[in-house]
């Protein structure tokens, strides 16, 4: 049950963005700020909110080249979970999951967070071993996860086909009951409204084209399509395009950008109770509150900046969905789209200072950063405000790629990316 203050409901009613009419559209940037965030996705808007709310830094601008939430935040399949293998990752993603649990109340904005459970299917002996290892590691780290037989998995998700004679039979599943979904655009708008109320400037249609540095090499501000904006602190949260932006300050990062795509069906009545993921056959599925089946595919195999994926990848995913859930065979697909995700060699993110004084980066979330939104935003704000990482993001440095202290979460991506 979500609770909203009666005053907010009276003042705003419940409209498209829960009644909020943004004042910032086409507002001109001020000449200077105490901090600038590049990228108006959930991570960037959230970082601005926590800078203002938790760290008292309110003279902040979020500069976005398009419209807020138009990047991966508004393009993802909204799966939220924290069942990662390594201690560092479990701490990071569970920090986020705990923040999700109170986010609608925190922002006084319904982000429609729904803990309907995330179930990961095992189709072969290797999957069983890997997922059982995750269950044990998660429990040691205080993260809920449990092993289900195929029959128990079907009880949890009745549309699931557990016929042993199909190509990829379901042999069992790992279930994180605290996992689930949220409404992606509401996350962007909820953070934007709350940040705006604290004095943050949100500047859309403002592309960063350069990073200016002073005589000592420290950050002095950003060159944008709407002119120069000065600031001694710049945080870059520009998923998919991070290396392009960081290159403006001559910082090189070990990132590759790939298209990742998703699609939705025509809307139907509630028919699918949870989230199901299958790494082995590259498919994941949930049902949105609008009734659409939300289906995600794998990444393209080649790096690219096109915001759509190869059709053969979507076709492969739909074949898998039809095998796992035969009742959906006759459903029509409404639309598909893609986003650009940036991926590090160990598939773990970077939330860190850079070698340039005053320049900070939050990137490398690959196919899995939506679930991290509140946690990443909070930790990034901490790193910018204090000029040092929070203990939770301290392991997620750029230097780990030099020192070899990798957090190799590749297998925990849950979808084969």
Among ligand PYC, ligand FAD, none, the one that 134 touches (CB under a kind-dependent 5 to 8 A) is none
The single residue among 117, 221, 296, 349 that binds ligand PYC, judged by CB under 6 A, is: 296
Residues that bind ligand FAD (CB under 6 A): 38-44, 63-66, 70-73, 75-79, 207-208, 237-241, 245, 260-262, 296, 339, 341, 365, 367-371
Contact status: 89 vs ligand PYC (CB under 6 A):
no
Among ligand FAD, ligand PYC, none, the one that 353 touches (CB under a kind-dependent 5 to 8 A) is none
Q: Give backbone dihedrals phi and psi of 123, rounded to 5 degrees, phi first.
A: -115, -5
| Residue with Cβ nearer ligand PYC (180 or 358) | 180
Contact status: 286 vs ligand PYC (CB under 6 A):
no
CB 198 within 8 A of CB 1: no
| Residue with Cβ nearer ligand PYC (77 or 145) | 77
Among positions 321-380, residues that touch ligand PYC (CB under 6 A) are: 367-368
Using the contact rule CB under 6 A, the part of the chain among 38-46, 75-83, 219-227, 373-381 near ligand PYC is 75-83
Which residue(s) pair with 201 in the sheet?
61
| Residue with Cβ nearer ligand FAD (71 or 374) | 71
| Residue with Cβ nearer ligand FAD (63 or 186) | 63
**H, E, C per residue of the chain:** CCCCCHHHHHHHCCCCCCCCCCCCCCCCCCCECCEEEECCCHHHHHHHHHHHHCCCCCCEEEECCCCCCCCHHHCCCCCECCCCCCHHHHHHHHHHHHHHHCHHHHHCCCCCCECCCEEEEECCHHHHHHHHHHHHHHHHCCCCCEEECHHHHHHHCCCCCCCCCCCCCCCEEEEECCCEECCHHHHHHHHHHHHHHCCCEEECCCCEEEEEECCCCCEEEEEECCEEEECCCEEECCCCCHHHHHHCCCCCCCCEEEEEEEEEEEECCCCCCCEEEECCCCEEEEECCCCEEEEEEEECCCCCCCCCCCHHHHHHHHHHHHHHCHHHCCCCEEEEEEEEEEECCCCCCEEEECCCCCEEEEECEHHHCCCCHHHHHHHHHHHHHHCCCCCCCCCCCCCHHHHCCCCCCHHHHCCCC
CB 36 within 8 A of CB 63: yes
In the complex, what is the shortest distance from the CB of residue 415 to ligand PYC, in angstroms, rounded to a whole number? 5
Among ligand PYC, ligand FAD, none, the one that 43 touches (CB under a kind-dependent 5 to 8 A) is ligand FAD
In the complex, what is the shortest distance from the CB of residue 78 to ligand PYC, in angstroms, rounded to a whole number? 9
| Residue with Cβ nearer ligand FAD (65 or 353) | 65
| Residue with Cβ nearer ligand PYC (18 or 286) | 286
The single residue among 20, 113, 258, 284 that binds ligand PYC, judged by CB under 6 A, is: 284
| Residue with Cβ nearer ligand FAD (69 or 171) | 69
In the complex, what is the shortest distance from the CB of residue 165 to ligand FAD, in angstroms, rounded to a whole number? 30
Among ligand PYC, ligand FAD, none, the one that 415 touches (CB under a kind-dependent 5 to 8 A) is ligand PYC
Contact status: 385 vs ligand PYC (CB under 6 A):
no
Among ligand PYC, ligand FAD, none, the one that 207 touches (CB under a kind-dependent 5 to 8 A) is ligand FAD
| Residue with Cβ nearer ligand FAD (69 or 395) | 69
In the complex, what is the shortest distance from the CB of residue 284 to ligand PYC, in angstroms, rounded to a whole number? 5
> Which sign does the torsion angle of CA 160, 164, 167, 172 carry?
positive
The single residue among 75, 81, 183, 378 that binds ligand PYC, judged by CB under 6 A, is: 81
Using the contact rule CB under 6 A, the part of the chain among 74-82, 137-145, 223-231, 321-329 near ligand PYC is 74-82
> Which sign does the torsion angle of CA 88, 90, 96, 99 carry?
negative
Binding site for ligand PYC (CB under 6 A): 77, 79, 81, 284, 296, 367-368, 414-415
């Amino acid at each position: 049950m979500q609770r909203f203050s009666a005053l907010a409901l009276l003042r705003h009613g419940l409209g498209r963005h829960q009644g909020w009419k943004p004042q910032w559209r086409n507002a001109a940037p001020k000449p200077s700020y105490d901090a600038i965030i590049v990228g108006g996705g959930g991570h960037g808007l959230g970082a601005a909110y926590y800078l203002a709310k938790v760290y008292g830094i309110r003279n902040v601008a979020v500069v976005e080249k398009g419209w807020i939430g138009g990047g991966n935040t508004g393009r993802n399949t909204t799966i939220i979970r924290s069942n990662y293998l390594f201690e560092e990752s479990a701490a990071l993603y569970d920090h986020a999951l705990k923040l999700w649990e109170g986010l609608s109340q925190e922002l006084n904005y319904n982000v429609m967070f729904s803990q309907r459970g995330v179930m990961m299917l095992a189709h072969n002996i290797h999957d069983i071993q890997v997922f059982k290892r995750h269950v044990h590691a998660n429990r040691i780290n205080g993260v809920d996860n449990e092993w289900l037989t195929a029959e128990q998995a079907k009880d949890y998700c009745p549309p699931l086909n557990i016929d042993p004679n199909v190509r990829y039979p379901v042999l069992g599943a790992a279930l994180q009951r605290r996992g689930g979904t949220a409404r992606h655009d509401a996350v962007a708008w909820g953070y934007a409204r709350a940040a705006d109320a604290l004095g943050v400037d949100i500047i859309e249609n403002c592309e960063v084209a350069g990073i200016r540095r002073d005589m000592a090499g420290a950050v002095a501000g950003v060159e944008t399509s709407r002119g120069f904006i000065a600031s001694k602190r710049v945080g870059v949260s520009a998923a998919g395009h991070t290396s392009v932006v960081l290159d403006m300050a001559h910082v090189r990062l070990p990132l590759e950008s790939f298209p990742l795509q998703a699609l939705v069906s025509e809307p139907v009545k509630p028919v699918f109770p949870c989230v199901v993921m299958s790494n082995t056959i590259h498919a994941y599925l949930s049902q949105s509150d609008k009734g659409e089946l939300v289906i995600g595919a794998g990444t393209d195999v080649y790096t690219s900046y096109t915001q759509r994926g190869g059709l053969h990848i979507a076709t492969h995913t739909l074949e898998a969905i039809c095998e796992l859930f035969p009742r959906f065979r006759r459903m029509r697909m409404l639309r598909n789209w893609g986003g650009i995700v940036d991926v590090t060699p160990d598939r773990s993110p970077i939330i860190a200072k850079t070698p340039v004084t005053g320049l900070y980066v939050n990137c490398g979330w690959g196919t899995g950063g939506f679930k991290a939104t509140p946690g990443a935003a909070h930790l990034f704000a901490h790193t910018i405000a204090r000029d040092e990482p929070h203990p939770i993001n301290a392991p997620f440095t750029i230097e780990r790629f030099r020192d070899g202290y990798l957090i190799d979460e590749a297998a925990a991506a849950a979808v084969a990316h």
